[in-house]
């Protein structure tokens, strides 16, 4: 029996940068708005955002660029300069300075505050001075730094910074991609523009700057300007000899000389701005890593970005050079030989204490395969198990240990391993913690729950190979060979990390009141979801093939019609070509201005369809609808398994409100608002051996929860009248008879009813209804005049959350919102929307989960063969044999209705049919 210490591979240092200025000091200056704008337009805003609606593309891109700069340039000092919203001395000199600039995208301003907050947490100084631009702040700091003998790097997309370039000051100018930066040295500036950096200001005065609304000399470009400046030495000398300049260009120069001299004055960067921090104070300070973690959780950033950021942050002052061995994870790993596992389990893992279990393998689409397991104990003993090498005795011992509810276990993200174990023929019981679910309950706003990241956050320990002499792991080999020791070590460390993390998260759950929710709802639900994924739902492949062909034909027809209207062929998926056709060739009204021109998104096309008689926008919308439907159907066809069923994957840790999500494919996103979309549901059919699909869903559950929580007597009474609820509310708001409520009035009230439950503002309601914000505000005021309890509840829930720091559902699911007291208005308002939204949506999510558990337990207790196939928001879909239809219908209705005792009844609607569409109700 050999014991081998584990030692890590040595880290390869990054490519060294230059020595820097005096004493190796290097100052990095960033133009904050320039970098943030570049990040905003480089990353699609629609793909970067939080579940609450906060856009994050600028924050993400800015952070990525800053990480690269810190890694590549390794500055000793750093500052970020920002523009202020007020006028500067340049506006005082020229009223039209920067006039005509495109309106700032509405998703951008709130992100500037978030970037500035991140910089504070990183220990990076931000500087701005009233009456001056960021360029002037940078110029002043650069001048001071050069006086101190420091090397200066300026990251800016403003070419005015080129006038600051010297042998000791380089501008890092952005190229085509977000990470592409060109080093503008004196030689590079002169090579590109034909003049040295100190004369770039003169060249810019002649050429003009469109972004600043500084027109240049007509017909004079950089080459002509450079030729003149080179010949005469400077703009001042050129002006002195202006009468000597021949031709039309010379006459244009003389005609626009006043503008040129004004440009020269405005282009000059002020190097003597009164700035409080001295350059010596711009060192990189200690970062608040915990606060950065919290901010990144709120912004729902993946752990990869924070890992990259932490890798370039300075170590905290006084921190040891390397972590002490006890801060890692320690195991004595045994790889049992044939016939030895049963003895190891009896000796090391048979007590009442919980063990950590890590599983390696593949899973998804309702099944899986196990390639290895590792078990770790608090004593440090650990075993690595290869299922393919187990003899019958060890196989039976392991199966019994896994199935024994008295052998307590902790796993990370347990549903996948559960699927794989079931496919192998093993049962899994005794799971008292799933560390992914536990971390989700502690911090539901996080986007990812990787084990290593959670260990770092909650235990302050790294899940990595040990360092130095104090090895954290020894390998005790009793089996054959050591050819795969790295994989064995990794899995064993994961098992031990899962065990320690489960203990740590239990403490956090106790403090946050989440232990009961974990054990009574989330953990039991894992088993129910795994069974649903294994079962899947039958799909009619031939029907889907026919639908795909139909949508493809409609898509082609739309293309042909669009070509006919325009008179030539073009790419309907090309925004650039659509902009040319819609706004230049057809001269249709201009839509919202974006970086690449005028937007051609769906909202813009719908706006054009309403305001013009041109049929092209309507055709384009139809083409997009058919394309989306065809893509949906193609995706479904690809996911039909060999058993003829589609097996989706349910996720419990995605939505901060507690709602389940569905992926691969997303069966919660099957379109139902159009006839064409609803037809897709006909493809989901009852399977062999069953007679009907049964659908059951809650009616207006969010509004019933709002009535329960607000205790508004009028709202409760409205539910008890038995009338059409939205029409009843409309009648009360508009003070009319229920028979006099027309479709438009009902639709407005319905939108507002659900909007209030989702924290919708008056502006959001106006956008949804196509009315003015004033009209929407009046509508809400009329509602609150009738239902004052709802108004009081919505106000009180934010006040209570501000006092407590969190909101809570009826089942105790908490969402902590520290930004409710933030000085940053955008972050505070975002947190207020979450505070309004989370209790109602979260309570609805909790209730449907309890209902699923109740229905599953009822089916098992009664011995029925009916089974739950899908959960889609507030709806369950079951497969039922003919002889169980009546008892199962009653069971499902009763179990769902009794999931929670509200002040108004939980109404459940049930439908039956041979396919999902016909089973609708």
Measure the CA–CA gap between 377 and 499, rounded to whole angstroms. Answer: 8
The predicted structure's pLDDT at residue 603: 86
Exposed (0-12), middle (13-18) or buried (19+): which is 260, by Cβ within 10 Å? buried
The predicted structure's pLDDT at residue 751: 81
Backbone torsions φ then ψ of 569, nearest 5 degrees: -80, 145
Q: Select from 295, 311, 342 the last residue of a domain.
A: 295
Q: What separation in angstroms does the CA of 98 have from each of 20, 87, 88, 901?
A: 36, 10, 11, 61
The answer to whether residue 674 is domain-embedded is no
The predicted structure's pLDDT at residue 466: 38
Q: Are residues 426 and 504 in the same domain?
A: yes
The answer to whether residue 731 is domain-embedded is no
Give the CATH number for residue 461: 3.30.420.10
Share of the chain above pLDDT 90, in %: 55
Q: Are residues 470 and 413 in the same domain?
A: yes
Task: Decide if pLDDT at 86 tops 90.
Answer: no
Mean pLDDT computed over every residue of the chain: 87
Task: Decide if pLDDT at 341 tops 70.
Answer: yes
Q: What angle do CA 878, 884, 890 make, to 5 degrees?
A: 75
Specify the DSSP element, H or E, that contains 880: strand 875-880
DSSP string, 743-782: HHHHHHHHHHHHHHHTT--HHHHHHHHTS-HHHHHHHHHH
- Give the single-character DSSP code of 457: I
The answer to whether residue 202 is domain-embedded is no
Q: Select from 529, 557, 584 the last residue of a domain.
A: 529
The predicted structure's pLDDT at residue 327: 60
The predicted structure's pLDDT at residue 178: 64
The predicted structure's pLDDT at residue 436: 97
253 and 140 Cβ atoms separated by less than 8 Å: no
Q: Are residues 281 and 404 in the same domain?
A: no
Rg of the Cα atoms in the chain? 33
DSSP string, 680-724: HGGGEEPPTT--EEEEEEESSHHHHHHHHHH--HHHHHHHHS-S-
pLDDT single digits (tens) 181-229: 899 999 999 999 999 999 998 998 898 887 777 888 898 888 999 999 8
Task: Decide if pLDDT at 429 tops 90.
Answer: yes
Where does 545-621 show beta strands of DSSP type E? 593-594, 597-598
The predicted structure's pLDDT at residue 270: 87
Least trusted range by pLDDT, from 250-259, 421-430, 509-518, 613-622: 250-259
Q: Are residues 138 and 287 in the same domain?
A: yes
Average pLDDT over residues 667-687: 88
Q: Are residues 384 and 442 in the same domain?
A: yes
Least trusted range by pLDDT, from 61-65, 278-282, 352-356, 376-380: 278-282
Range of the domain at 402: 326-529
Q: Which tokens go with 220?
A: 């004079």
The answer to whether residue 816 is domain-embedded is no
Specify the DSSP element, H or E, that contains 347: helix 341-348
pLDDT single digits (tens) 430-483: 999 999 999 999 988 777 799 998 998 888 888 864 333 323 333 333 344 445
559 and 574 Cβ atoms separated by less than 8 Å: no
Q: Are residues 409 and 515 in the same domain?
A: yes
Q: Are residues 280 and 337 in the same domain?
A: no
Q: Are residues 347 and 468 in the same domain?
A: yes
Task: Decide if pLDDT at 9 tops 60.
Answer: no
Q: Which tokens go with 28?
A: 């990095």
Measure the CA–CA gap between 732 and 748, rounded to whole angstroms. Answer: 13
The answer to whether residue 134 is domain-embedded is yes
Average pLDDT over residues 549-565: 96
Task: Decide if pLDDT at 647 tops 90.
Answer: yes
Q: Are residues 276 and 382 in the same domain?
A: no
Measure the CA–CA gap between 836 and 799, rounded to whole angstroms. Answer: 10
Q: What separation in angstroms does the CA of 8 have from each of 330, 452, 470, 573, 753?
A: 14, 17, 11, 51, 60
The predicted structure's pLDDT at residue 473: 36
253 vs 698: which has the higher pLDDT: 698
Q: Select from 529, 544, 575 the last residue of a domain.
A: 529
Average pLDDT over residues 278-283: 89
Closest CA to 273 of 123, 146, 88: 88
With bands split at pLDDT 50, 70 and 90, how would you rate the model's confidence at 319?
very low
Task: Decide if pLDDT at 2 tops 60.
Answer: no
The answer to whether residue 716 is domain-embedded is no
Give the CATH number for residue 51: 3.40.50.1010
The answer to whether residue 417 is domain-embedded is yes
pLDDT single digits (tens) 705-729: 999 999 999 889 888 887 778 888 8
pLDDT single digits (tens) 219-263: 888 899 999 989 888 888 888 888 888 888 888 888 888 888 888
797 and 810 Cβ atoms separated by less than 8 Å: no
Least trusted range by pLDDT, from 469-478, 505-514, 555-564, 896-905: 469-478
The predicted structure's pLDDT at residue 51: 64
Exposed (0-12), middle (13-18) or buried (19+): which is 674, by Cβ within 10 Å? exposed
Task: Decide if pLDDT at 747 tops 60.
Answer: yes
Closest CA to 497 of 607, 378, 639: 378
466 vs 591: which has the higher pLDDT: 591
144 and 27 Cβ atoms separated by less than 8 Å: no
Least trusted range by pLDDT, from 45-59, 113-127, 358-372, 415-429: 45-59
Q: What angle do CA 272, 277, 280 make, to 5 degrees?
A: 100
Q: Are residues 275 and 420 in the same domain?
A: no
Average pLDDT over residues 400-429: 97
The answer to whether residue 509 is domain-embedded is yes
Q: Are residues 381 and 523 in the same domain?
A: yes
pLDDT single digits (tens) 826-865: 778 878 888 888 899 999 999 999 999 999 999 999 999 9
Share of the chain above pLDDT 70, in %: 92
Give the number of domains in the chain.
Answer: 2
Task: Decide if pLDDT at 157 tops 50.
Answer: yes
Q: In what order do the strands lie in the sheet with 431-434?
A: 2-5, 473-477, 331-335, 381-385, 367-376, 355-364, 409-411, 431-434
Q: Are residues 41 and 127 in the same domain?
A: yes
């Amino acid at each position: 029996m050999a014991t081998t210490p584990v030692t890590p591979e040595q880290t390869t240092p990054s490519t060294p940068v230059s020595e820097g200025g005096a004493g190796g000091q290097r100052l990095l200056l960033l133009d904050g708005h320039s970098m943030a704008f570049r990040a905003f337009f480089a990353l699609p805003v629609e793909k970067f955002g939080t579940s609450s609606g906060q856009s994050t593309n600028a924050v993400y891109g800015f952070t990525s660029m800053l990480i690269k700069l810190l890694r590549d340039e390794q500055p000793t000092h750093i500052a970020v300069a920002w523009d202020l919203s007020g006028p500067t001395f340049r506006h005082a000199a020229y009223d039209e300075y920067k006039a005509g600039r495109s309106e700032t995208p509405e998703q951008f301003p709130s992100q500037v505050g978030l970037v500035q907050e991140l910089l504070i947490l990183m220990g990076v100084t931000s500087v701005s001075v009233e009456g001056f631009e960021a360029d002037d702040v940078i110029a002043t700091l650069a001048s001071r730094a050069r006086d101190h003998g420091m090397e200066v790097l300026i990251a800016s997309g403003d070419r005015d910074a080129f006038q600051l370039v010297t042998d000791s000051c380089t501008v890092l100018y952005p190229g085509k991609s977000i990470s592409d930066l060109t080093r503008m040295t004196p030689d590079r500036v002169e090579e590109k523009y034909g003049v040295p950096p100190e004369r770039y200001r003169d060249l810019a005065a002649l050429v003009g700057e469109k972004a600043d609304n500084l027109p240049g000399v007509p017909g004079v470009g950089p080459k002509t300007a450079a030729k003149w400046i080179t010949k005469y030495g400077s703009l001042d000398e050129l002006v002195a000899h202006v009468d000597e300049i021949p031709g039309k260009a010379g006459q244009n120069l003389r005609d626009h000389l006043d503008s040129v001299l004004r440009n020269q004055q405005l282009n000059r960067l002020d190097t003597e701005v009164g700035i409080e921090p001295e350059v010596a104070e711009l060192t990189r300070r200690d970062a608040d890593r915990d606060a950065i973690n919290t901010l990144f959780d709120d912004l729902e950033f993946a752990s990869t970005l924070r890992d990259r950021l932490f890798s370039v942050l300075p170590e905290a002052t006084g921190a040891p050079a390397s972590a002490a061995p006890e801060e890692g994870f320690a195991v004595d790993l045994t790889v049992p030989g044939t016939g030895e596992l049963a003895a190891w389990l009896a000796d090391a893992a048979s007590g009442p204490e919980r063990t950590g279990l890590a599983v390696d393998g593949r899973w998804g689409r309702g099944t899986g395969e196990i390639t290895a397991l590792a078990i770790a104990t608090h004593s440090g003993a650990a075993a690595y198990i290869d299922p393919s090498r187990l003899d019958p005795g060890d196989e039976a011992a392991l199966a019994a240990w896994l199935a024994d509810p008295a052998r307590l276990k902790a796993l990370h993200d347990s549903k996948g391993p559960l699927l794989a174990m079931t496919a192998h023929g093993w049962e899994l019981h005794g799971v008292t913690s799933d560390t992914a679910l536990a971390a989700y309950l502690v911090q539901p706003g996080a986007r990812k729950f990787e084990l290593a990241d959670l260990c770092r956050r909650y235990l302050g320990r790294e899940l990595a190979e040990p360092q130095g002499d104090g090895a954290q792991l020894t390998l005790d080999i009793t089996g054959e060979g050591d050819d795969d020791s790295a994989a064995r070590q990794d899995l064993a460390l994961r098992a031990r990390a899962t065990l320690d993390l489960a203990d740590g998260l239990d403490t956090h759950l106790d403090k946050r009141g989440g232990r009961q929710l974990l054990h009574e709802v989330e953990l039991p639900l894992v088993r129910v979801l795994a069974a649903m994924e294994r079962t899947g739902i039958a799909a009619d492949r031939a029907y889907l093939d026919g639908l795909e062909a139909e949508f493809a034909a409609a898509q082609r027809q739309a293309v042909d019609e669009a070509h006919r209207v325009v008179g030539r062929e073009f790419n309907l998926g090309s925004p650039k070509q659509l902009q040319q056709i819609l706004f230049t060739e057809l001269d249709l009204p201009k839509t919202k201005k974006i970086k690449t021109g005028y937007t051609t998104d769906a909202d813009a096309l719908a706006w054009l369809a309403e305001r013009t008689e041109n049929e092209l926008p309507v055709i384009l919308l139809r083409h997009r609808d058919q394309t989306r439907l065809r893509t949906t159907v193609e995706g479904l066809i690809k996911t039909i398994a060999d058993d003829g069923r589609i097996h989706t994957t349910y996720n419990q840790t995605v939505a901060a409100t507690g709602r389940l999500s569905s992926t691969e494919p997303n069966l919660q996103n099957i379109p139902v608002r159009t006839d064409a979309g609803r037809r897709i549901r006909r493809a989901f059919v009852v399977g062999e051996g069953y007679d009907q699909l049964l659908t059951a869903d809650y009616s207006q559950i969010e509004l019933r929860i709002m009535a329960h929580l607000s205790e508004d007597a009028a709202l409760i009474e409205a539910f008890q009248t038995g009338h059409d609820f939205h029409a009843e509310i409309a009648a009360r708001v508009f003070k009319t008879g229920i028979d006099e409520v027309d479709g438009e009035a009902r639709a407005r009230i319905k939108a507002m009813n659900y909007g209030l439950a989702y924290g919708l503002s008056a502006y959001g309601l106006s956008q949804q209804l196509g009315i003015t914000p004033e009209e929407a505000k009046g509508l809400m005021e009329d509602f609150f005049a009738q239902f004052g309890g709802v108004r009081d509840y919505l106000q009180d829930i934010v006040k209570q959350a501000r006092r407590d720091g969190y909101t809570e559902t009826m089942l105790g699911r908490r969402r902590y919102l520290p930004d409710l007291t933030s000085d940053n208005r955008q972050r505070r308002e975002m947190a207020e929307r979450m505070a309004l939204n989370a209790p109602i949506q979260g309570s609805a999510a909790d209730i449907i989960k309890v209902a699923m558990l109740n229905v599953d337990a009822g089916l098992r207790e009664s011995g029925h063969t009916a089974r739950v196939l899908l959960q889609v928001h507030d709806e369950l879909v079951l497969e039922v044999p003919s002889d169980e239809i009546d008892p199962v219908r009653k069971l499902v209705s009763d179990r769902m209705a009794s999931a929670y005792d509200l002040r108004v009844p939980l109404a459940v609607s049930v439908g039956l049919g041979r396919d999902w569409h016909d089973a609708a109700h």
